[in-house]
Every structure is written in structure tokens, then in C-alpha cells.
Structure 1
Amino acid sequence: MVEFMEKGEELTVEERNLLSVAYKNVIGARRASWRIVSSIEQKEEGRGNQDHVAAIHAYRARIEAELTNICGGILRLLEARLVPSAATADSKVFYLKMKGDYHRYLAEFKAGAERKEAAENTLAAYKAAQLAPTHPIRLGLALNFSVFYYEILNSPDKACTLAKQEDGVDDIKEASKPEDDQ
């Protein structure tokens, strides 16, 4: 699938969605594994069981390497081919949202300068993706942006503020009026 995507042609909406779902399935399983293994590692550290901690740490590092490889692959594809070849605003925003998502996934487990860089890249990609406030992709972007503020930047107040923004409410009200009322 990736080889097909690398041809540089604009993807159809269906192809775009298939790519997104395929990567989400691959990355989702590993993110879940990482969370479970990290939790077990913390419990074993608390118990002082260093033999188990060493083995768990090695396994977590392997999962992190897989996550880094998967995220790196889709990010290279997005940056080199998909974003530059996006012909419509919808497709460009879709790809920028994906770009932000995969940088956020890196920020979930990276530390230090790598975490900071991933967080900055997430923020830049999400900010670059702009659509009408009521657009479904923008609504998904807003949700992911608020998750980023909550989980990565540890800013629950900013996450809630972003999630509650009503800049699309007037557009929804206007669009739902009968034509003779407008």
C-alpha cells in the first residue's frame, strides 16, 4: 500500500481513508501494548523486582523502536508525497491532521529533546490544518488537538477550553435555518 502511495498522485477520499485506517490499526495495537508494558514496568519497579524490570524495560524499548519506525514511515510519506500533492483543502487538512497525530504518538513515549520536538511538530501540524468550524475533519482535528494538550502538554484547562469552543455553533445554526429565513 505504501508503495502505491509513494507514486505522488492525489489519493481519492476512499484511498486516503484506507491509508489512515491501516496505519491507525498498526499503530493502535502497539500504543496499547506500550501503555500496558509501561504500567507493568512501573508496578514491578514499585515492588523492587529488578530482574523483571530489566526484561520489561527491554521489551518496552522494542515496542518504542517499532512505534518510532512506523511513525517515521508515515511521516516521511506525508511530508514527501501526500501533503505536497494534496490538491484540495480537505485532503491537505486530512494529511496535516495525520501528521500531527503521528507526531503526537511519538511525543507519548519520547523523552527530553525528542519529546519536545515531537510536541512542537504536533502543534505546528495541527495549527496548519484550518477548515470551517463545522467541517467534520476540523471537528476531529479539534478533538485530537485537545487530547494533545491534555496528554502531552499536561494542560487539562487548555484542553477543555479547546474542546468547548463554540466558534462553529453560529455556522450550524445558520446552516440549519430554512432558506426563506436566511
Structure 2
Amino acid sequence: MSEKEDIVQRAKLAEQAERYDDMAAAMKKVTETGAELTNEERNLLSVAYKNVVGARRSSWRVISSIEQKTEGSEKKQQMARDYREKVEKELRDICHDVLVWFAVICFLVFPPCRLQKNVATLLQYLFLDMSYCTQYFEFDGLLDRYLIPKATTPESKVFYLKMKGDYYRYLAEVATGDDRNSIVENSQSAYQEALDVAKSKMQPTHPIRLGLALNFSVFFYEILNSPDRACQLAKQAFDDAIAELDTLNEDSYKDSTLIMQLLRDNLTLWTTDNAGDEGDGGGEQDAPTGQ
């Protein structure tokens, strides 16, 4: 067993033990080899970070609700506020880690001469403040110039663009002010680019394309507060997939039909919400097994 295979096996073991922080750390090491990830490795990476960040997102929602309910008790409200801010920092750090580390790997594998001159500044940003490092990479466009172009298949490119959109969306959930505006723009841009590629290169029934439509529609509903656009995107994806169900192969049938069910569930929920009922933002999806 090679060193890479050993690390992947450790990630699988961590997943079975539901130790997702360990799983994420292992998959980060795999990514740092610089080689393009296999489908299995790509999915392990996504599952690991989805669970790591998902735990914080869930905690943030619970604590935010408690904070709102403690109005009238200044001490309790301050305690809830402090705890929410602690969870927010953890959530931001994880999302920044994903976005920045993608760029760092690309920097190491594809070091442009003009960027080599800025190594000292880069490392200073990297180790002193993760948010500054993220901004640095955004200005230089490393994520878009070097990581995503390295993907050799439409599936890989859409997967990574979707992942970029997802993690900016997670940041948008807790961001405020001008920072939130730029984060939202980054998320929408990544999702839209992924959707453009998916529509031109992938079957409507492909689970990665369906998962993208699902998460992008959640973005419209939750982040942009645009239920009409959310429903339009979800319905179009569902209808397109239904029209080409005969293109589904046995390997992806389970994944694709599961996501189609989530799309339909969200449409039902959002339609009900628009009629005046309260509800959450709907289900989302990150990486179907084996795709």
C-alpha cells in the first residue's frame, strides 16, 4: 500500500468512526500531493468538510435561535451572543481553510514567477490571518486560474466550482455588511459558471449536475431571498432530468433519483412558504457517493 493509499484508508476509517475532523485532515494531506483527485478521493474530501462545517452551521442556527429568545435577560443574551460568535469564527476558519488551501496547492504546483516574488507576503497572510490570505488569493485569481483549469473532465470542473460556491455560501450565512456582498457575489459566480459548464457538457440526469442545481437553488432561496428564482431553477432541473430518465445508468441511478426527490421536496416546501407558511430553506446536497 502506497503512502497515498494509506492516508485514504485512514480517511475512510475516520469516516466510519464519524471523526470528520480527522477525515478532513487526512484528505487535506491527499490533496497536498498535487495530483488530481480520483472520484472516490474527491467525494471523501467533500464528505469530510461537509460534515466538519455542517456541525458548526447547525450549532450556529440553534444558538442564534436561543439568542433571539433571551431578549429581556441581558446576561443570558450576552452569553448566547458570545457563544454564537465563537461558532461563527470556527465556521469562517473552516471555510477559509477550504478556499485558501485549494489556492495554496495550486500555488505550489503552478508557481508563476510574478507570484514567487510575493512568497513572503503570502506566508505572512497565511499564518497570521486566514481571511487576509483568502482576499490575497481572490485578487490574484489563483483558484480560478490554476485549480479549476487543472480539472481534466467536466465532472471535476463542475464539482470544484460547485464546492467553491458552497463554501462561499456557508460564509454568507454568517457574514454581514459589505463583506457579505462580496462573498455572495463570489458564491453566485462560482455556481453560475458551474451551471454553464454542466448544461453544455453533462446529462441532465448526472448526479453532479443535479446536486449543483439543488444547492444553487438553495442559494437563491436562503441567501438572495429569491424564492421565484429558486423554484424556477429547481423545477427546470427536475423537469429536464425527468425528460431524460432513460439516460440514467445503473451506477448513478440511486444518487440521481435521491437528488431529484430533494428537488421536488424543496419545490413543495418553497411553494408552501410562498403561500404564507414558515419553513426552513430546504435540503441541500454535496457529493453523491461514487460520483
TM-score scaled by length of structure 2: 0.56
Distance in 1 (CA, whole Å) between partners of 2:63 and 2:245 is 46
Match of 1:12 among 29, 35, 38: 38
* Alignment CA distance shift 1:170-1:53 (3 Å): closer
Gaps of 5+ in 1: 177-182
* Alignment CA distance shift 1:109-1:4 (3 Å): same
Gaps of 5+ in 2: 1-25, 107-146, 249-291
Structure 2 residue identity aligned to 1:90: E
Q: Deviations over 1:69-94 (max 9, x none)?
A: 00001111334434343221111111
Match of 1:95 among 151, 160, 168: 160
1:173 offset after TM fit, Å? 5.9
Distance in 1 (CA, whole Å) between partners of 2:85 and 2:232 is 35
1:55 offset after TM fit, Å? 1.1
Structure 2 residue identity aligned to 1:150: Y
Indicate if the aligned counterparts of 1:78 and 1:99 stay in contact, CA closer than 8 A: no
Structure 2 residue identity aligned to 1:85: K
Is structure 2 residue 103 aligned with structure 1 residue 38? no
Distance in 1 (CA, whole Å) between partners of 2:65 and 2:75 is 16
Counterpart position of 1:23: 49
* Alignment CA distance shift 1:28-1:173 (3 Å): closer
Match of 2:225 among 139, 150, 154: 154
Is structure 2 residue 185 aligned with structure 1 residue 120? yes
Is structure 2 residue 157 aligned with structure 1 residue 86? no
What percent identity do the matched residue pairs reach? 57
Indicate if the aligned counterparts of 1:97 and 1:126 stay in contact, CA closer than 8 A: yes
Between the two proteins, the alignment pairs up a number of residues equal to 174
Structure 1 residue identity aligned to 2:44: L
Indicate if the aligned counterparts of 2:214 and 2:234 stay in contact, CA closer than 8 A: yes
* Alignment CA distance shift 1:149-1:96 (3 Å): same
* Alignment CA distance shift 1:112-1:7 (3 Å): same
Distance in 1 (CA, whole Å) between partners of 2:241 and 2:93 is 40
Indicate if the aligned counterparts of 1:107 and 1:115 stay in contact, CA closer than 8 A: yes
Counterpart position of 1:70: 94
Indicate if the aligned counterparts of 1:9 and 1:85 stay in contact, CA closer than 8 A: no
